[in-house]
A and B are shown apart, each in its own frame.
Chain A
């Protein structure tokens, strides 16, 4: 096994609001190897995006990383100088965002925005950056790349803009690509194309991907390892096959049950009752207690630890502690 490219240890990102401290990410740990694709899955408000922005060092006020380490190739990004962090950002770690429609600056041409990174990180001249940008646009499957290079984002469709974002993110051959729900805003037919494109391009350079999504279909298609997050915590952490075959956490099971399956046509889709509690509202016991169908008295009092069931399967639930005791 290769050494970890990214290692997150007990990351805590809190938001200091007028109503007190809100722990958006509360002690998250995981690691990512070179060339590996990992998915962070969870509902809105589970802390997925805050985790990725914390890695990028883009948490703005009132949010703050309160504890833990983000080790990228052994260097802790949380204590790195702003200047060094900027050198890393866009070069070694790149990011693609959820909304291609608003993620590109409307006043600058596509070419200007792609070559900006290339010129900055690779010290390329204007002409070199242009050649490289057009090459990237061709790579992401944009027809008439030269023309698109000098057009403005509003002239492109959502799918095209997301391709431009991918071209921009991969233009400096990053070691890690963070994709925050890259296909959520796109048509279903385009989604598969974009995912395939990301996979092909990152395979070329052995780029690791951290994919943030709530779409388990996407997970099954392209991921090696899955982290299920709930209310700022990791609740289940395993490889993709185990996750679909033997989900252990009631929340993971709920997520899987609420995914439509073509061979089990039902009239109504299952859902997990309720919504993710606002961060900081549950102070005692398991964070999932309010929505769990199998909650016991213990779940309301004591908070479970993330427990290792086997070498590649961790879960945060009292049910499995008890199972083990029973065995």
Chain B
């Protein structure tokens, strides 16, 4: 396991290299931030001067070299908007996003695991149909719309939770529900179909033939097997969750990375964009690593 971890961690390095290159290229082709930074009536000389001072006149490879040089020192350059180094600004926003993502995952797991197992064991019962139908409906609902509806109902009408912002636990409830129930919808269907497949396996019949109670057959023998594909697919969906946080944070004015990134894109604050995307990519890779570890812990047949 130790060796596996070291090898897996070393594999992250080239991936990060590729990501940094892709991010740089995207920003390079995204256009010139100078036009947005200066007033509309700025003279061509002023524009030229600013471009010069930002190093935007240099050819592609020189710019990339400068960028990489900074990257090795974890320096993504200065934010045009904040006038300070980009990475600390991004890292400052990180805890809020992690808090939201973790709360959403907890909501998703708490809903999806019992619901998925239960609808698989009671296949085609009215309750199963309700669960599967409901999850399709839920998945079809856009995040931003669901968020707004929740705000309208629970904040504006009932006044139970704050409308937006981050603060104590009550601030977290609505954004976590918005994002979490969306993930739960997907996860429920996944667990259900995975469970249905496992419940037909020979070793489940063996377990039943031993006289084990249905509860243990389902929760011990079947669920652990069913979890393997669920873990894999959930990890692969981390990027979807990240996309979800961008939207949810914007809807709820949640001061996280997603909100910062969207603002930065709108204002072409490239240093912030690069730093945010890099950090997000890093977390997606980390989640996949975590999934690999869980996978190995769950399934003794896995050899790396």
Contact = CB atoms under 8 A, between A and B. Distances in A.
A39 interface: no
Nearest to B300: A152
Contacts of B209: 56, 58, 89-90, 94-95, 97
Contact of A105 (B211, B213, B225): B225
B210 A105 contact: no
B300 A91 contact: no
Nearest to A92: B211
B129 interface: no
Contacts of B301: 106, 152, 154
A104 interface: yes
A261 interface: no
B210 A168 contact: yes
A103 B206 contact: yes
B300 A107 contact: yes
A87 interface: yes
Contact of B300 (A85, A88, A116, A154): A154
A78 to B, nearest CB: 17
A271 interface: no
Contacts, number: 68
Given A86-B213, A99-B202, A106 B299 contact: yes
A91 B201 CA distance: 22
B205 A58 contact: yes
A89 B205 CA distance: 12
A91 B203 contact: no
B171 interface: no
Contacts of B221: 105, 108
Nearest to B222: A105
A326 to B, nearest CB: 48
Interface string B191-226: 000000000011101111111110000000100110
A97 B205 contact: yes
Contacts of A117: 210-211
A106 B203 contact: yes
A146 B91 CA distance: 52
A90 B207 CA distance: 9
Nearest to B213: A86
B298 interface: yes
A121 interface: yes
Residue from the set B201, B202, B206, B211 with the largest chain A CB neighbour count within 10 Å: B211
Contacts of A56: 209
B211 A91 contact: yes
A102 B210 contact: no
Given A97-B205, A107-B225, A120 B300 contact: no
B299 A89 contact: no
A85 B212 CA distance: 10
A95 B211 CA distance: 11
B178 to A, nearest CB: 35
B210 A106 contact: no
Contacts of A90: 209-212
A88 B212 CA distance: 11
A116 B212 contact: yes
A89 B211 contact: yes
A117 B209 CA distance: 10
Contact of B203 (A85, A103, A152): A103
Residue in A58, A88, A106, A168 with the greatest tally of chain B CB atoms within 10 Å: A106
Interface in A73-114: 85-91, 94-95, 97, 99, 102-108
A116 B203 contact: no
Contacts of B211: 85-91, 117, 120-121
Given A89-B209, A107-B298, A116-B212, 16 more contacts: A86-B212, A87-B211, A91-B211, A97-B209, A102-B202, A103-B203, A105-B206, A106-B299, A107-B225, A117-B211, A121-B211, A152-B301, A154-B300, A165-B206, A168-B206, A168-B210
Interface of B: 201-203, 205-213, 221, 224-225, 298-301
24 contacts: A58-B209, A86-B212, A89-B211, A94-B209, A94-B210, A95-B209, A97-B202, A97-B209, A103-B203, A104-B203, A104-B206, A105-B221, A106-B203, A106-B225, A106-B301, A107-B299, A108-B221, A116-B210, A116-B212, A117-B210, A117-B211, A121-B211, A152-B300, A165-B206
Interface of A: 56, 58, 85-91, 94-95, 97, 99, 102-108, 116-117, 120-121, 152, 154, 165, 168
